[in-house]
Amino acid sequence: MKSLLLRPHAKINLGLRVLGKRADGYHELRTRFQSIDLTDELEIQPAERGLHLEVEGAALPADDSNLVLKAARMLGAGRPELPGARIRLKKKIPLAAGLGGGSSDAAATLLGLNHFWGLRLPKGELHRMASSLGADIGFFLVGGAALGVGRGDEILPLPDCAPFRIALLLPPFASSTAEVYRRWDEDSLGKRPPGGEPSAWRPEADPQGEPSSLSVHNDLERLVVTRHAQLSLLKDALIQHGAVAAALSGSGPSLYGLFPSGENLADLQNAREWEGVRLLDCVPVGRAAYWQRLGLPPI
């Protein structure tokens, strides 16, 4: 194989509940992941020996601290007969934004090299590697819509949701996942609201329903908004402009608003509230389309 071009997808969290801290130091989560049509590019080319990474579009290190190289080295461990690989990563998904870009790149690396090297490792083995690399990487081995439980690494595929439009707001600052969870641990109110249902959406909601039927409450949102008051104004503005639901994605700072399918979001581009904020018009990507756009057959 001369080269392999993949398109790792971003995700949003359609609801995120933090149920407590686990004995292993991680947090017990319930979240609904959803792939969206914002992607990076990851190209794999042959090399005589060794693993080589080039990064474009973002100030990311191309060393062993990068999840792409970590994934590649994990896959190649104990297989000295494998040839080398040159990996070019072109970043389009914003960093530290709650959109899972780094995790998606790592998952694409596992999938891509498994195919590129002809390893044919089973799905369970790839999921084990993904889980050891990061809590949400396993979702990107599934795509579409899925429930994440445990640390977020136990992935239960869900039916594709009904079509809707996503106004994705990207503020000009980052959010540290580790810092947000540290503050959740320290916060005396760091628990789900009284009476809150410990799931990522209303139990009576149709998983294929319109966005208005989805509960998108994010337990981490309050902690991030207290540091960045602009996010509260942006969320209110999304609702005022017609979003049927709006929330923080993951640990932020990206916000999304859900609009009915077919809604024209062009008017949002001129909203004064967006000054200094990047606005992307996105749509959810179902499971079949996810694999087609990614560039590989499903595992």
Say if residues 35 and 284 touch (Cβ distance below 8 Å): yes
Residues 6+ apart with CB under 8 A from 215: 15, 197, 200, 201, 202, 205
Query: Nearest-CA neighbor of 86 among 43, 144, 118, 115?
Result: 43
Active-site residue, 187 included: no
Q: Tell me whether strands 41-47 and 51-56 are parallel, antiparallel or unpaired.
A: unpaired
Query: To which residue do tokens 């694409």 refer?
Result: 108
Active-site residue, 11 included: yes
∠ CA 84-86-91, rounded to 5°: 150
Residues 6+ apart with CB under 8 A from 222: 189
Which residue among 11, 40, 105, 160 is the active-site one? 11
**What does the alpha-carbon distance between residue 299 and residue 289 come to, in Å, rounded to a whole number?**
14
The pair of three-digit structure tokens given for residue 290, joined into one six-digit string: 């996810």
The pair of three-digit structure tokens given for residue 78, joined into one six-digit string: 């104990």
Which residue among 40, 136, 153, 160 is the active-site one? 136
The pair of three-digit structure tokens given for residue 220, joined into one six-digit string: 């981490």
Active-site residues: which are they? 11, 136
